Homo-oligomer: A and B are copies of this chain.
Amino acid sequence: MNIIVAQSGGPTSVINSSLAGVISAGIENDFDKIYLSLHGIEGIINDEIAEVDKDKYASENIKAKLMARPSSILGSCRFKLPANFDDEVYKKIFETLKAYQISTFVYIGGNDSMDTVMKLNNYMKDNNIADINIMGCPKTIDNDLMGMDHSPGFGSAAKYIGTTLRTLRTDVDIFDLKSVTFVEIMGRHAGWLAASALSANYGMDKDVVNFVYLPEDRKSLDQVFDEIKEALKYENNLIVALAEGFRDKDNKLDEERFSNQNDAFGHKIVSGVASRLADLVRNKLEIKSRAVELSIVQRTSNLISKTDADEAYQLGFMAAKLGIDNTNLVPVLKRKDKNEYEVYYESVSPDKIANNEMKIPETWLKDRKTLENEIIKYTLPLIKGEVEQVYENSLPVFVNLKDFII
Protein backbone atom coordinates (compact mmCIF):
# COMPACT_ATOMS: atom_id res chain seq x y z
CA MET A 1 0.00 0.00 0.00
CA ASN A 2 0.94 3.66 -0.39
CA ILE A 3 1.24 6.73 1.79
CA ILE A 4 0.51 10.36 0.86
CA VAL A 5 1.46 13.56 2.65
CA ALA A 6 0.45 17.20 2.25
CA GLN A 7 1.23 20.55 3.91
CA SER A 8 -1.42 23.11 4.74
CA GLY A 9 -1.94 26.55 6.32
CA GLY A 10 0.83 29.06 6.98
CA PRO A 11 4.44 27.97 6.55
CA THR A 12 6.98 27.47 9.33
CA SER A 13 10.74 27.00 9.34
CA VAL A 14 10.40 23.33 10.30
CA ILE A 15 7.32 22.18 8.35
CA ASN A 16 9.67 20.30 5.99
CA SER A 17 11.23 18.51 8.95
CA SER A 18 7.81 16.96 9.56
CA LEU A 19 7.62 16.10 5.86
CA ALA A 20 11.02 14.38 6.15
CA GLY A 21 9.68 12.47 9.16
CA VAL A 22 6.71 11.18 7.14
CA ILE A 23 8.89 10.20 4.16
CA SER A 24 11.46 8.47 6.35
CA ALA A 25 8.69 6.56 8.16
CA GLY A 26 7.21 5.64 4.76
CA ILE A 27 10.52 4.20 3.62
CA GLU A 28 11.30 2.39 6.89
CA ASN A 29 7.84 0.84 6.96
CA ASP A 30 8.06 -0.44 3.40
CA PHE A 31 5.30 1.52 1.75
CA ASP A 32 5.39 0.79 -1.98
CA LYS A 33 5.01 4.39 -2.99
CA ILE A 34 5.32 7.67 -1.12
CA TYR A 35 3.17 10.38 -2.69
CA LEU A 36 3.26 14.13 -2.19
CA SER A 37 0.08 16.15 -2.63
CA LEU A 38 0.82 19.67 -3.87
CA HIS A 39 -0.94 22.67 -2.31
CA GLY A 40 -2.44 20.76 0.56
CA ILE A 41 -5.70 18.90 0.06
CA GLU A 42 -6.13 20.71 -3.28
CA GLY A 43 -3.49 18.43 -4.79
CA ILE A 44 -5.68 15.43 -3.98
CA ILE A 45 -8.80 17.18 -5.28
CA ASN A 46 -7.10 18.31 -8.51
CA ASP A 47 -4.82 15.29 -8.92
CA GLU A 48 -1.58 17.25 -8.57
CA ILE A 49 0.50 14.55 -6.96
CA ALA A 50 4.21 13.78 -7.11
CA GLU A 51 6.05 10.62 -6.08
CA VAL A 52 9.18 10.46 -3.93
CA ASP A 53 12.24 8.91 -5.54
CA LYS A 54 13.35 6.75 -2.60
CA ASP A 55 16.85 6.22 -3.96
CA LYS A 56 17.52 9.91 -4.43
CA TYR A 57 16.01 10.63 -1.01
CA ALA A 58 18.55 8.33 0.62
CA SER A 59 21.60 8.88 -1.56
CA GLU A 60 21.41 12.66 -1.66
CA ASN A 61 20.65 13.07 2.03
CA ILE A 62 17.39 14.83 1.27
CA LYS A 63 16.29 14.38 4.88
CA ALA A 64 18.97 16.79 6.11
CA LYS A 65 18.31 19.17 3.22
CA LEU A 66 14.57 19.26 3.95
CA MET A 67 15.30 20.01 7.60
CA ALA A 68 17.35 23.05 6.52
CA ARG A 69 14.69 24.34 4.11
CA PRO A 70 12.12 26.76 5.53
CA SER A 71 8.50 27.02 4.30
CA SER A 72 6.17 24.36 2.87
CA ILE A 73 8.08 22.80 -0.04
CA LEU A 74 4.89 21.05 -1.20
CA GLY A 75 2.99 24.32 -1.33
CA SER A 76 -0.04 25.02 0.80
CA CYS A 77 -3.71 25.96 0.71
CA ARG A 78 -6.36 27.61 2.86
CA PHE A 79 -9.13 25.26 1.75
CA LYS A 80 -11.96 24.61 4.23
CA LEU A 81 -13.98 21.47 3.61
CA PRO A 82 -17.74 22.02 3.47
CA ALA A 83 -19.87 20.84 6.40
CA ASN A 84 -22.15 18.96 4.03
CA PHE A 85 -20.77 15.45 3.36
CA ASP A 86 -22.87 15.19 0.19
CA ASP A 87 -20.59 17.74 -1.41
CA GLU A 88 -18.84 16.45 -4.54
CA VAL A 89 -15.44 17.32 -3.10
CA TYR A 90 -15.54 14.41 -0.63
CA LYS A 91 -16.28 11.94 -3.42
CA LYS A 92 -13.38 13.36 -5.43
CA ILE A 93 -10.95 13.12 -2.49
CA PHE A 94 -11.71 9.47 -1.76
CA GLU A 95 -11.69 8.55 -5.45
CA THR A 96 -8.16 9.93 -5.68
CA LEU A 97 -7.04 8.23 -2.48
CA LYS A 98 -8.40 4.90 -3.81
CA ALA A 99 -6.89 5.41 -7.27
CA TYR A 100 -3.46 5.90 -5.67
CA GLN A 101 -4.06 2.96 -3.30
CA ILE A 102 -3.49 5.11 -0.25
CA SER A 103 -3.71 3.49 3.17
CA THR A 104 -2.23 6.41 5.13
CA PHE A 105 -2.65 10.13 4.53
CA VAL A 106 -0.74 12.59 6.74
CA TYR A 107 -1.89 16.21 6.74
CA ILE A 108 0.67 18.59 8.23
CA GLY A 109 -1.04 21.76 9.42
CA GLY A 110 -2.51 23.95 12.14
CA ASN A 111 -5.93 23.98 13.79
CA ASP A 112 -7.78 24.64 10.50
CA SER A 113 -6.07 21.63 8.96
CA MET A 114 -7.07 19.52 11.95
CA ASP A 115 -10.64 20.50 11.07
CA THR A 116 -10.04 18.96 7.63
CA VAL A 117 -8.63 15.80 9.23
CA MET A 118 -11.60 15.60 11.58
CA LYS A 119 -14.14 16.03 8.78
CA LEU A 120 -12.48 13.43 6.57
CA ASN A 121 -12.50 10.97 9.46
CA ASN A 122 -16.16 11.68 10.16
CA TYR A 123 -16.97 11.23 6.47
CA MET A 124 -15.22 7.83 6.50
CA LYS A 125 -17.18 6.77 9.57
CA ASP A 126 -20.46 7.80 7.93
CA ASN A 127 -19.55 5.98 4.71
CA ASN A 128 -17.98 2.88 6.23
CA ILE A 129 -14.56 3.51 4.75
CA ALA A 130 -12.17 1.55 6.93
CA ASP A 131 -9.08 0.91 4.82
CA ILE A 132 -7.68 4.45 4.91
CA ASN A 133 -6.16 6.22 7.91
CA ILE A 134 -6.06 10.00 7.85
CA MET A 135 -3.78 11.61 10.38
CA GLY A 136 -2.91 15.17 11.31
CA CYS A 137 0.61 16.33 12.06
CA PRO A 138 0.55 19.62 14.01
CA LYS A 139 2.51 22.80 13.18
CA THR A 140 2.23 26.53 13.74
CA ILE A 141 4.57 29.36 14.67
CA ASP A 142 1.79 30.85 16.80
CA ASN A 143 2.09 28.08 19.42
CA ASP A 144 -1.66 28.17 19.95
CA LEU A 145 -2.47 24.49 19.30
CA MET A 146 -4.39 22.89 22.13
CA GLY A 147 -3.47 19.56 23.65
CA MET A 148 0.29 19.93 23.45
CA ASP A 149 3.09 21.63 25.38
CA HIS A 150 4.29 23.64 22.37
CA SER A 151 3.91 23.63 18.59
CA PRO A 152 6.62 22.81 16.06
CA GLY A 153 7.56 26.02 14.28
CA PHE A 154 7.30 28.14 17.41
CA GLY A 155 10.87 27.46 18.59
CA SER A 156 12.46 28.58 15.33
CA ALA A 157 10.33 31.71 15.07
CA ALA A 158 11.18 32.53 18.71
CA LYS A 159 14.87 31.99 17.93
CA TYR A 160 14.67 34.40 14.99
CA ILE A 161 12.80 36.97 17.10
CA GLY A 162 15.23 36.71 20.05
CA THR A 163 18.23 37.04 17.74
CA THR A 164 16.74 39.98 15.87
CA LEU A 165 15.90 41.77 19.12
CA ARG A 166 19.44 41.33 20.42
CA THR A 167 20.79 43.03 17.28
CA LEU A 168 18.00 45.64 17.29
CA ARG A 169 19.01 46.61 20.84
CA THR A 170 22.50 47.50 19.58
CA ASP A 171 20.82 49.76 17.01
CA VAL A 172 18.25 51.64 19.10
CA ASP A 173 20.81 52.49 21.80
CA ILE A 174 23.14 54.61 19.72
CA PHE A 175 21.64 58.08 19.97
CA ASP A 176 21.70 60.11 23.17
CA LEU A 177 17.97 60.81 23.24
CA LYS A 178 14.68 59.28 24.37
CA SER A 179 13.06 56.82 21.99
CA VAL A 180 10.53 53.99 21.86
CA THR A 181 10.70 51.24 19.24
CA PHE A 182 7.56 49.14 18.81
CA VAL A 183 8.34 45.73 17.33
CA GLU A 184 5.29 44.06 15.82
CA ILE A 185 5.37 40.28 16.16
CA MET A 186 2.98 37.66 14.76
CA GLY A 187 0.11 36.44 16.93
CA ARG A 188 -3.48 37.60 16.46
CA HIS A 189 -5.21 35.95 19.40
CA ALA A 190 -2.34 34.41 21.35
CA GLY A 191 0.78 36.33 22.27
CA TRP A 192 3.28 33.47 22.61
CA LEU A 193 5.75 34.83 20.07
CA ALA A 194 5.61 38.41 21.38
CA ALA A 195 6.09 37.09 24.92
CA SER A 196 9.00 34.92 23.73
CA ALA A 197 10.82 38.16 22.87
CA LEU A 198 11.53 38.43 26.62
CA SER A 199 13.95 35.52 26.19
CA ALA A 200 16.33 38.09 24.72
CA ASN A 201 16.67 39.52 28.26
CA TYR A 202 18.08 36.29 29.66
CA GLY A 203 21.56 36.72 31.11
CA MET A 204 21.83 40.37 30.04
CA ASP A 205 22.93 43.23 32.33
CA LYS A 206 20.34 45.49 30.75
CA ASP A 207 16.92 44.57 29.38
CA VAL A 208 16.76 44.07 25.62
CA VAL A 209 12.94 44.18 25.70
CA ASN A 210 11.32 46.60 28.15
CA PHE A 211 7.63 45.88 27.63
CA VAL A 212 5.43 43.24 26.05
CA TYR A 213 1.82 43.87 25.06
CA LEU A 214 -0.34 40.84 24.38
CA PRO A 215 -3.81 40.05 23.08
CA GLU A 216 -4.39 38.12 26.34
CA ASP A 217 -3.70 41.14 28.49
CA ARG A 218 -5.56 44.22 27.26
CA LYS A 219 -4.54 47.55 28.72
CA SER A 220 -5.88 51.03 28.20
CA LEU A 221 -3.88 53.46 26.08
CA ASP A 222 -3.41 55.58 29.20
CA GLN A 223 -1.83 52.62 30.97
CA VAL A 224 0.50 52.13 28.01
CA PHE A 225 1.48 55.81 27.93
CA ASP A 226 1.99 55.88 31.71
CA GLU A 227 4.17 52.78 31.73
CA ILE A 228 6.30 54.11 28.90
CA LYS A 229 6.59 57.59 30.41
CA GLU A 230 7.64 56.17 33.77
CA ALA A 231 10.23 53.84 32.22
CA LEU A 232 11.71 56.69 30.18
CA LYS A 233 12.77 58.31 33.43
CA TYR A 234 15.34 55.54 33.86
CA GLU A 235 16.03 54.38 30.32
CA ASN A 236 16.80 56.30 27.17
CA ASN A 237 15.64 53.84 24.54
CA LEU A 238 12.78 51.45 25.07
CA ILE A 239 11.91 48.39 23.02
CA VAL A 240 8.29 47.24 23.17
CA ALA A 241 7.44 43.80 21.81
CA LEU A 242 3.92 43.97 20.48
CA ALA A 243 1.72 41.09 19.38
CA GLU A 244 -0.05 42.09 16.15
CA GLY A 245 -3.32 41.25 17.89
CA PHE A 246 -2.82 43.58 20.85
CA ARG A 247 -5.76 45.97 21.26
CA ASP A 248 -6.41 48.46 24.03
CA LYS A 249 -9.06 47.93 26.66
CA ASP A 250 -11.17 50.87 25.53
CA ASN A 251 -11.11 49.86 21.86
CA LYS A 252 -9.47 53.08 20.77
CA LEU A 253 -7.18 51.03 18.55
CA ASP A 254 -9.99 48.90 17.16
CA GLU A 255 -10.08 47.75 13.57
CA GLU A 256 -13.20 49.76 12.77
CA ARG A 257 -11.54 53.12 13.22
CA PHE A 258 -8.64 52.23 11.05
CA SER A 259 -10.38 50.33 8.33
CA ASN A 260 -12.56 53.40 7.77
CA GLN A 261 -9.48 55.31 6.72
CA ASN A 262 -8.67 55.68 3.06
CA ASP A 263 -5.37 56.55 1.52
CA ALA A 264 -4.85 59.26 -1.08
CA PHE A 265 -6.06 56.92 -3.80
CA GLY A 266 -9.24 56.02 -1.99
CA HIS A 267 -8.00 52.62 -0.81
CA LYS A 268 -8.14 51.24 2.67
CA ILE A 269 -5.05 51.77 4.76
CA VAL A 270 -3.79 48.53 6.19
CA SER A 271 -1.46 49.62 8.94
CA GLY A 272 -0.18 47.60 11.84
CA VAL A 273 -0.73 48.19 15.51
CA ALA A 274 2.97 48.98 15.98
CA SER A 275 2.88 51.97 13.66
CA ARG A 276 -0.37 53.15 15.25
CA LEU A 277 1.16 53.06 18.72
CA ALA A 278 4.38 54.63 17.45
CA ASP A 279 2.35 57.53 16.01
CA LEU A 280 0.44 57.95 19.26
CA VAL A 281 3.53 57.89 21.46
CA ARG A 282 5.39 60.29 19.15
CA ASN A 283 2.57 62.79 19.41
CA LYS A 284 1.57 62.27 23.02
CA LEU A 285 5.03 62.11 24.60
CA GLU A 286 6.84 64.15 21.94
CA ILE A 287 9.73 61.76 21.63
CA LYS A 288 11.24 59.71 18.82
CA SER A 289 9.12 56.64 18.21
CA ARG A 290 9.12 54.12 15.41
CA ALA A 291 7.64 50.81 14.35
CA VAL A 292 9.48 47.71 13.16
CA GLU A 293 7.31 44.94 11.70
CA LEU A 294 9.05 41.60 11.68
CA SER A 295 6.55 40.64 8.95
CA ILE A 296 6.46 37.24 7.27
CA VAL A 297 10.25 37.09 7.47
CA GLN A 298 9.88 35.80 11.07
CA ARG A 299 7.99 32.65 10.12
CA THR A 300 10.32 31.21 7.48
CA SER A 301 13.79 32.27 8.52
CA ASN A 302 16.63 29.86 7.79
CA LEU A 303 17.84 30.40 11.35
CA ILE A 304 16.26 27.13 12.43
CA SER A 305 16.29 25.72 15.97
CA LYS A 306 17.71 22.21 15.91
CA THR A 307 15.48 21.20 18.81
CA ASP A 308 12.43 22.45 16.91
CA ALA A 309 13.44 20.69 13.69
CA ASP A 310 14.14 17.39 15.48
CA GLU A 311 10.78 17.49 17.24
CA ALA A 312 8.94 18.35 14.01
CA TYR A 313 10.67 15.39 12.34
CA GLN A 314 9.60 13.07 15.16
CA LEU A 315 6.00 14.24 14.92
CA GLY A 316 5.95 13.57 11.16
CA PHE A 317 7.46 10.15 11.69
CA MET A 318 4.95 9.36 14.45
CA ALA A 319 1.98 10.59 12.42
CA ALA A 320 2.84 8.11 9.65
CA LYS A 321 3.39 5.39 12.24
CA LEU A 322 -0.01 6.05 13.84
CA GLY A 323 -1.57 5.56 10.40
CA ILE A 324 0.23 2.26 9.97
CA ASP A 325 -1.10 1.24 13.38
CA ASN A 326 -4.57 1.88 12.03
CA THR A 327 -5.53 4.82 14.20
CA ASN A 328 -6.60 8.32 13.24
CA LEU A 329 -4.95 10.14 16.11
CA VAL A 330 -2.67 13.17 15.99
CA PRO A 331 0.78 12.96 17.62
CA VAL A 332 1.48 15.76 20.11
CA LEU A 333 4.43 17.01 22.12
CA LYS A 334 4.44 16.95 25.90
CA ARG A 335 7.13 18.16 28.28
CA LYS A 336 8.29 16.14 31.26
CA ASP A 337 7.84 17.89 34.57
CA LYS A 338 11.47 18.03 35.60
CA ASN A 339 14.35 20.48 35.58
CA GLU A 340 16.12 19.32 32.48
CA TYR A 341 14.14 19.72 29.27
CA GLU A 342 12.79 16.49 27.90
CA VAL A 343 9.77 15.80 25.72
CA TYR A 344 7.61 12.77 25.22
CA TYR A 345 5.01 12.10 22.58
CA GLU A 346 1.36 11.24 22.95
CA SER A 347 -1.49 11.05 20.51
CA VAL A 348 -4.88 12.72 20.70
CA SER A 349 -8.06 12.86 18.67
CA PRO A 350 -7.96 15.65 16.01
CA ASP A 351 -11.08 17.27 17.51
CA LYS A 352 -9.00 18.09 20.60
CA ILE A 353 -6.96 20.43 18.38
CA ALA A 354 -9.31 21.56 15.64
CA ASN A 355 -10.80 25.08 15.76
CA ASN A 356 -9.33 25.79 19.20
CA GLU A 357 -6.65 28.15 20.51
CA MET A 358 -4.19 27.84 23.39
CA LYS A 359 -3.57 31.14 25.20
CA ILE A 360 -0.78 32.13 27.58
CA PRO A 361 -1.77 30.91 31.09
CA GLU A 362 -3.38 33.66 33.13
CA THR A 363 -1.06 33.06 36.08
CA TRP A 364 1.88 34.08 33.85
CA LEU A 365 0.30 37.48 33.23
CA LYS A 366 0.49 38.65 36.85
CA ASP A 367 3.30 41.10 36.10
CA ARG A 368 6.18 41.50 33.68
CA LYS A 369 8.71 39.73 35.89
CA THR A 370 6.47 36.66 36.29
CA LEU A 371 5.83 36.53 32.55
CA GLU A 372 9.54 36.93 31.82
CA ASN A 373 10.56 34.13 34.20
CA GLU A 374 7.89 31.75 32.93
CA ILE A 375 8.38 32.43 29.22
CA ILE A 376 12.18 32.15 29.48
CA LYS A 377 11.93 28.78 31.25
CA TYR A 378 9.42 27.70 28.60
CA THR A 379 11.14 29.06 25.47
CA LEU A 380 14.92 28.70 25.94
CA PRO A 381 15.01 24.89 25.50
CA LEU A 382 12.93 25.21 22.31
CA ILE A 383 15.39 27.48 20.52
CA LYS A 384 18.44 25.35 21.30
CA GLY A 385 20.91 24.51 18.56
CA GLU A 386 21.04 25.49 14.89
CA VAL A 387 20.30 23.44 11.79
CA GLU A 388 23.32 23.66 9.51
CA GLN A 389 22.74 25.57 6.28
CA VAL A 390 24.28 25.11 2.84
CA TYR A 391 25.74 28.21 1.19
CA GLU A 392 26.81 28.91 -2.38
CA ASN A 393 28.46 32.25 -3.14
CA SER A 394 27.78 33.16 0.50
CA LEU A 395 24.00 32.94 0.09
CA PRO A 396 21.84 30.05 1.35
CA VAL A 397 20.63 27.45 -1.14
CA PHE A 398 17.73 25.11 -0.47
CA VAL A 399 16.62 21.74 -1.78
CA ASN A 400 13.97 21.75 -4.52
CA LEU A 401 11.08 19.37 -5.02
CA LYS A 402 12.55 18.20 -8.32
CA ASP A 403 15.65 17.00 -6.47
CA PHE A 404 13.82 14.06 -4.91
CA ILE A 405 10.74 13.20 -6.97
CA ILE A 406 10.37 10.78 -9.86
Interface residues in chain A, defined as those with a beta carbon under 8 Å from any beta carbon in chain B: 7, 11, 38-39, 42, 69-73, 75-78, 159, 162-164, 166-168, 170-171, 173-176, 199-200, 202-203, 205, 257-258, 260-261, 263-265, 267-271, 275-276, 279-280, 282-283, 290, 292-297, 299-302, 305, 380, 383-386, 392-398, 400
Contact = CB atoms under 8 A, between A and B. Distances in A.
A6 B294 CA distance: 31
Contact of A162 (B176, B268, B395): B395
B283 A265 contact: yes
Contacts of A269: 261, 263, 269, 271, 279
B394 A159 contact: yes
Contacts of A38: 176
A244 B67 CA distance: 34
29 contacts: A7-B174, A11-B174, A39-B174, A39-B176, A75-B174, A75-B175, A159-B394, A163-B302, A163-B395, A163-B396, A164-B297, A166-B396, A167-B300, A167-B301, A171-B300, A199-B395, A203-B392, A257-B264, A261-B264, A263-B279, A265-B279, A267-B279, A268-B279, A269-B269, A292-B295, A305-B394, A384-B393, A384-B394, A386-B394
B394 A299 contact: no
A70 to B, nearest CB: 5
Given A166-B396, A385-B394, A395-B162, A292 B283 contact: no
Contacts of A296: 168, 171, 290, 292
Given A175-B78, A264-B260, A265-B279, A70 B396 contact: no
Contacts of A279: 263, 265, 267-270
Contact of A171 (B71, B200, B263): B71
A402 to B, nearest CB: 9
Contacts of A164: 297
B260 A202 contact: no
A292 B293 CA distance: 8
A383 B396 contact: no
Contact of A282 (B162, B267, B292, B295): B267
A345 to B, nearest CB: 23
B176 A75 contact: yes
A71 B199 contact: no
A40 to B, nearest CB: 9
A380 B395 CA distance: 9
A263 B292 contact: no
A394 B86 CA distance: 51
Contact of A170 (B162, B173, B268, B300): B300
Nearest 6 Cβ contacts at the A-B interface = A71-B170, A76-B174, A257-B264, A171-B300, A39-B176, A292-B295
B385 A171 contact: no
Contact of A283 (B267, B386, B393): B267
A388 to B, nearest CB: 13
Nearest to A71: B170
A72 B175 CA distance: 10
A292 B297 contact: yes
Contact of A299 (B78, B171, B176): B171
Given A267-B280, A393-B380, A400 B205 contact: yes
Contacts of A396: 163, 166-167
A153 to B, nearest CB: 13
Nearest to A204: B397
Given A162-B395, A265-B283, A271-B271, 17 more contacts: A69-B170, A71-B167, A72-B174, A75-B175, A76-B175, A77-B175, A77-B176, A78-B175, A159-B394, A170-B300, A200-B395, A263-B271, A267-B279, A269-B279, A294-B297, A380-B393, A384-B394
Nearest to A396: B166
A174 B395 contact: no
